[in-house]
Structure 1
């Protein structure tokens, strides 16, 4: 789109709003945005804008820019602002004006490179991977923390990495990535959707980056991307896809990718030379499809998690082996049992079941506080509004988002996972175990691979909230059992999911691609 085309496309009302928002800067901002805006790419990248209709350029100028959206595949405004701000915080409007009116004439890269401080530098014969991130948002969730774990293991294995992210909206996360890689590049790209082809500029940019950095293979941290795999195949580079999703039981994911569950799995297989999965449950979806499958479970650094204090029994009167409630102990328990649900607070994560659990426990007369840990969402707002209207009696408290899950777990006694879709692993479950907290969850997805029923927690049939409430009541009235299960969970996490185990699993996954290269796991935590 040319500047003049953009000008003709906007009405006077849009210009008035722009002047009110930006004052005297508006003409300079408008000119810069119009010169960089790619309507076709913008609508393909941001499906919500396409679905809403209206003027795409007006949306970007008046809303999208402030929201951190990119104008085209040729530039990352967020990355440019992060790279050249010189320890200042640049607003997107300033970053785009800086590039258009000054940076591009000075040869500043619109796809910025952030140098890393990782200990591995690619040398002759040493493996090097170009790693493409799943996503970057203002808050860290399981996929982002899992990628950092992978990069740490690769670094210990002697594998150099160059990381590519779609935006620079989380400076703390970018700094963490830089600490375990040779470099971090910020390049706009989006999810694959069936029936759409990758933008040629996106493919050309990725291909140019791969040629410049010279990796031996491409590692894609999710099955939702396609462009990195296509560019890698053009250059004859093998592709590892780390699958952290179970499309067969996640209709929301399939809808976002405009495909069926089978279509999503088939697409991932087609564009991969090796599929890495995070659990045996996930592996089942990719077996017998003609591509090697390696299981690399998530990891916990037990040296970090042992700092979380263990649960302490209240009384020694109740036998640890008993799985029945002990009413005689109720008077000795001064504080209600603190039960937590952590993560993305959306309906498919079991929000409604969690609220129903609080009501079921209140009906049973069990003293509990049910705590939600996660960023505010429309689903949370709707849930609390409904509970106020209905007059529900169960104690549900929203504690907000915490950057470090240890800050939540130290204030909890029990963690529940009530997801209505199949978890491909269950990172919050593993972290709860590492913190010494029992977990009660549905017997669904990969969670039975983590939880030993009756030993480290309890499993209930999918959707059976009353059964979950029963097990919570057992733990609320038998604090010795609560503490014992916490200790057993911490030991299981240490035995099966520590740093050493993760390094060995990753080394095995890489062996198919790099048979001539020595990749050995070092001592745990080194």
Structure 2
């Protein structure tokens, strides 16, 4: 039986919210969570917080396991001062590497029941078209009105900008997938028209709908935002079945170069997109599929000869290098950032408020940020925040979660949240070259000092352009930890100016379309 002293000692460091979120069955025991851990939980391999791995500690230290001591209690009263390690710092990497799978296997977890289109689906979709308007057809990997993210916001802004002048038809896969679809005949689209849900259409129904469009309103213009989940062959047939206006193809990420759209070898390290027949691809779980994947997309590109649209010059550089494609290219900034001339930064109050913005995913650098916060637990110079739309419970008490959802209706939600919480520093630590990093622009607009990982993507370009004197770029996690632990960050932030900015949302491809008088859209192509 746990004694009262042990309970009191552990209670101070125990993360009740984390414990209950990870082990909801504890509620059924009708006992205090910390008592449950001390009495049963550690013996069952449960963790008292995200900071401490019970199983790891007992496996690493035989003396503690042999003595039958509560490992967390031991770590608090003796282990930490003895230099013992609370968890495997490389555990996240090991876990990802051990569970890395080619997308052909991941697909099994994505399968849903897709209800076939109704016989009158085409008629109902056509009823949503507004007579006399030219048409834009956009294509992406999911429903931009249901899901949230950078690509979805670009599409929503694009549709909103064009809503008074065109019929905007959006096609996404009825069966979402993390790879290209293998379908060559029975593909089903999920359709929206002028932002309204229009149901599902198969290829034949989609072709007939487009025939109506061409007959009454002229050839549509196509905007391909993302091919994930689509069949390039089906899409090529659909576009080629009718006259079409200009075709745009967005390089939002590097899906055209690999199923691993962030170009992560075995899901853990940026690979820089070597040739698909290279030895580097040969040792990657995504390498086996890469040659065929690239060939299928290249077939669509070669047939349609689209204009490539990149959200940043950094994106275009990497996209052309990794895909080997060089078409007529148009670089579009999916949003503008205007910053102030700068003003002296007030003497930093301690602790510095350090934030992580956006999805808590591996390729965004979340693991490095979480490790940094755990390393600095108890350091009075810093406190850590995570701003995202995700639910709580995925991190420890060292990081305060702030729920934020950026939508087309509230594009400044993240900037406002950073200002409200007085964030001094934002760590932008993506391990891949982001094509356009909304979060770093939001951080700059909120006047935060930026700590970024050095790389070839949009993050580096953005801070050089807007925050060169209130940012620092580092090469690795060791440099990141040293910057904080040495206290050098406090000095750098104190001596830097503070700039505030204003974000202007992108109009997507609407910026490239002649909307007055939309003549090119309505021209039929012979």
Contact 1:451 1:459 in 2 (8 A): no
Matched, 1:51 2:108: yes
Matched, 1:286 2:320: yes
Structure showing the higher helix proportion among its residues: 1
The two structures have a TM-score, normalised by structure 2, of: 0.55
Matched, 1:216 2:216: no
* Structure 2 unaligned residues grouped into runs of 5+: 1-102, 189-201, 271-284, 407-412
Superposed displacement of residue 229, structure 1: 4.1
Structure showing the higher strand proportion among its residues: 2
Contact 2:474 2:480 in 1 (8 A): no
Superposed displacement of residue 348, structure 1: 1.9
> Which residue in the other structure is 2:24 paired with?
none
Superposed displacement of residue 222, structure 1: 1.5
Distance in 2, Cα, partners of 1:108 & 1:506: 28
Distance in 2, Cα, partners of 1:417 & 1:111: 46
> Which residue in the other structure is 1:323 paired with?
none
Matched, 1:132 2:139: yes
Distance in 2, Cα, partners of 1:192 & 1:414: 36
Contact 1:122 1:160 in 2 (8 A): no
Shift in alpha-carbon separation, 1:135–1:470, aligned structure 2, 3 A: same
Contact 1:278 1:425 in 2 (8 A): yes
Matched residue SS, 2:433: coil
Contact 1:339 1:370 in 2 (8 A): yes
> Which residue in the other structure is 1:455 paired with?
469
Distance in 1, Cα, partners of 2:354 & 2:452: 12
> Which residue in the other structure is 2:59 paired with?
none
Matched residue SS, 1:259: helix
> Which residue in the other structure is 1:409 paired with?
418
Aligned CA-pair RMSD: 4.6
Match of 2:152 among 127, 144, 151: 144
Shift in alpha-carbon separation, 1:472–1:375, aligned structure 2, 3 A: farther
Superposed displacement of residue 244, structure 1: 0.5
The two structures have a TM-score, normalised by structure 1, of: 0.55
> Which residue in the other structure is 2:81 paired with?
none
Name which structure has the greater RCO, CA cutoff 8 Å, separation 6+: 2
Distance in 1, Cα, partners of 2:332 & 2:431: 24
Match of 2:310 among 253, 259, 277: 277
Superposed displacement of residue 164, structure 1: 1.8
Superposed displacement of residue 515, structure 1: 11
Contact 1:241 1:272 in 2 (8 A): no
Matched, 1:396 2:394: no
Matched, 1:231 2:238: yes
Distance in 2, Cα, partners of 1:486 & 1:471: 26
> Which residue in the other structure is 1:71 paired with?
114
> Which residue in the other structure is 1:93 paired with?
none
Superposed displacement of residue 344, structure 1: 1.9
> Which residue in the other structure is 2:436 paired with?
425
Shift in alpha-carbon separation, 1:300–1:460, aligned structure 2, 3 A: same
Contact 2:416 2:446 in 1 (8 A): no
Distance in 1, Cα, partners of 2:131 & 2:287: 37
> Which residue in the other structure is 1:55 paired with?
none
Matched, 1:357 2:363: no
Matched, 1:371 2:385: yes
Contact 2:251 2:308 in 1 (8 A): yes
Superposed displacement of residue 450, structure 1: 0.7
> Which residue in the other structure is 2:89 paired with?
none
Superposed displacement of residue 268, structure 1: 6.0
Contact 2:383 2:399 in 1 (8 A): yes
Match of 2:333 among 270, 291, 297: 297
**Which 4+ stretches in 1 moved above 6 angstroms?**
46-50, 108-111
Contact 1:416 1:441 in 2 (8 A): yes
Contact 1:460 1:468 in 2 (8 A): no
Aligned residue pairs: how many? 356
Superposed displacement of residue 139, structure 1: 4.7
Distance in 1, Cα, partners of 2:368 & 2:296: 28
Distance in 1, Cα, partners of 2:106 & 2:159: 34
**1:98-121 C-alpha deviation (Å, 9 max, x unpaired):** xxxxxx8xx6779757959xxxx7
Superposed displacement of residue 508, structure 1: 7.2
Shift in alpha-carbon separation, 1:152–1:109, aligned structure 2, 3 A: closer
> Which residue in the other structure is 2:74 paired with?
none
Match of 2:450 among 439, 461, 482: 439
